[in-house]
Amino acid sequence: MKNNENILVTGANGFLGSALVRLLKQHFNVKTLVRKTSDLTNLKGQDIEVIRGDLRDKDSLIRACKGVDIVFHAAADYRLWARYPVELYESNVTGTKNLLEIAYKSDVKKLVYTSSVATLGTNSDGSPANEETPVAIEQMIGHYKKSKFLAEETALSFFADTQFPIIIVNPSTPIGPRDIKPTPTGRVLKDAANQLIPAYVNTGLNLVHVDDVAIGHLLALKHGIPGRKYILGGEDYSLLEILKTVAQIQENREPMIRLNRHMLYPFAWLWELSAFLFNLKEPLLTVDGLKMASKKMYFSSERAKKELGYTYRDPKQGIVDAINWFAEN
């Protein structure tokens, strides 16, 4: 049963944003903010109000926040390589600051900000990190991570200055249906299912079904403490375990070749140079991506479990759902 609260979701056409919309529309009146150039495939059939605008355009944010009770800020410029890195900071940092200011002035009651585990510290021994693991901006690899780190700091500072109720969630690595772009991990699952990844490097991720992350956002709204961060994750997988799982699902041959990450840097440099010279969207392999692979991105969701009542399904179901969605789309 719906209540009468009005919800704004930014980034609603994206992978996570569209999962949020599908969940939230069952409980609230939902409207969305999307860019004029956004692909709305993920929102087909959803009975919601769509407002065209941009986080960098304050007038469009004023229109979007009018009459809104709660904001879910899920929009982000997620690229591991960009021809013009300043765009990442304009969208992720300045855009977040703009939205916070206008939501506050528009008497929005509460805002849930979608950050990322990319902003958090990791443990050198590969054990799961948490929200309190020490971290500094100097540890952020690449402009995407730096921009998200600064955006999260902006949200925390805004809360400290105004006491505007901001709850921060840090999803790990969502997987599942509607990964339309796709995300780097989605691309790995798609390519592995098509037997295009015969080798691997020694790295690891925390995988979680995208629909569980969406539920975690709703739980954060209901039970989260303003100014506090909550990791929304699932289970830790090495890259080899991910590829083996895909091979088992598809009844394919498992990858056998382990590569030294350092051997791949010349290929990453060439791909980045080609992308820059020939105006390609994004290289298949990036230097920052290889640097990130040097760390196992393993995380604990214990705080969210205890304080929010957060749970998650077996991430293997997310792998299955992702593979099936890619096969059909």
- CB-based burial label for 19 (10 Å; 0-12, 13-18, 19+): buried
Amino acid 1: pLDDT: 57
Amino acid 242: pLDDT: 97
- CB-based burial label for 250 (10 Å; 0-12, 13-18, 19+): middle
Sign of the CA dihedral with 203 first, then 204, 210, and 213 last: negative
Alpha helices, H only, the chain: 15-24, 58-65, 86-89, 95-105, 142-162, 184-193, 210-223, 239-250, 265-277, 287-292, 302-308, 315-328
Confidence of residue 3 (pLDDT cuts 50, 70, 90): confident
Alpha-carbon gap, residue 232 to 310, rounded angstroms? 8
Q: Any idea which architecture 6-178+208-233+299-313 has in CATH?
A: 3-Layer(aba) Sandwich (3.40)
Sign of the CA dihedral with 229 first, then 233, 238, and 243 last: negative
Q: Which two tokens stand for residue 129?
A: 């990190």
Does residue 232 register a pLDDT over 60? yes
Amino acid 107: pLDDT: 97
Per domain, the residue ranges of the chain are 6-178+208-233+299-313
Alpha-carbon gap, residue 50 to 12, rounded angstroms? 9
Does residue 254 register a pLDDT over 70? yes
Name residue 90's amino acid: E
What's the predicted TM-score (pTM) here? 0.96
Amino acid 81: pLDDT: 86
Torsions phi, psi for 153 (to 5 deg)? -60, -40
Alpha-carbon gap, residue 68 to 29, rounded angstroms? 9
Contact call for residues 320 and 184 (beta carbons, < 8 A): no
Alpha-carbon gap, residue 285 to 261, rounded angstroms? 12
Q: Check residue 118 and report its DSSP letter.
A: G
Tell me the per-residue pLDDT of 65-124, one tens digit each, with 9 for 90 and over.
999 999 999 999 998 888 899 999 999 999 999 999 999 999 999 999 999 999 999 998
Alpha-carbon radius of gyration of the chain: 19
Confidence of residue 275 (pLDDT cuts 50, 70, 90): confident
Confidence of residue 47 (pLDDT cuts 50, 70, 90): confident
Neighbours of 329 (CB within 10 A): 11
Q: Which residue has the tokens 């030294």?
A: 260
Alpha-carbon gap, residue 61 to 76, rounded angstroms? 15
Amino acid 41: pLDDT: 92
Angle at 293 between CA 265 and CA 274, to 5 degrees: 35
Alpha-carbon gap, residue 138 to 285, rounded angstroms? 23
| Nearby residues of 277 by Cβ (< 8 Å), 6 or more positions away | none
